[in-house]
Amino acid sequence: MEQFQVVALMSEITVEKLLNEITSLPLSEKVRLRVLLDDQLKSASGQSDGMKIVKPISVPDPEPSMRWINEHSHEYGGQWVALAGDRLIAHGENAAEVFAAAEADGAYLPLVTYIPPADAPPFVGV
Q: Which domain holds residue 22?
A: 2-44
DSSP for 78-107, written as a single string: TEEEEEETTEEEEEES-HHHHHHHHHHHT-
> Residue type at 29?
E
- The four Cα atoms 115, 60, 71, 103 give a dihedral, to 10 degrees, of -50
Instruction: Tell me which H or E stretch contains 115.
Output: strand 111-115
Q: Do 72 and 39 share a structural domain?
A: no
Q: Domain tally for the chain?
A: 2
Give 1-30 pLDDT, tens digit per residue: 455 554 455 567 788 888 888 999 988 888
Q: Summarize pLDDT for 77-122 with one digit per residue, the tens.
A: 999 999 999 999 999 999 999 999 999 999 999 999 999 998 999 8
Q: Is the pLDDT of residue 45 over 80?
A: no
In a domain, 49, yes or no: no
pTM: 0.56
Distance of CA 97 to the CA centre of its chain: 25
pLDDT on residue 12: 74
- Collapse the DSSP code of 14 into the 3-class scheme (helix H, G, I; strand E, B; otherwise coil) and give the result: coil
Both 72 and 38 in a single domain?
no
Flag whether 95 is in a domain. yes
Give the mean pLDDT of 18-43: 86
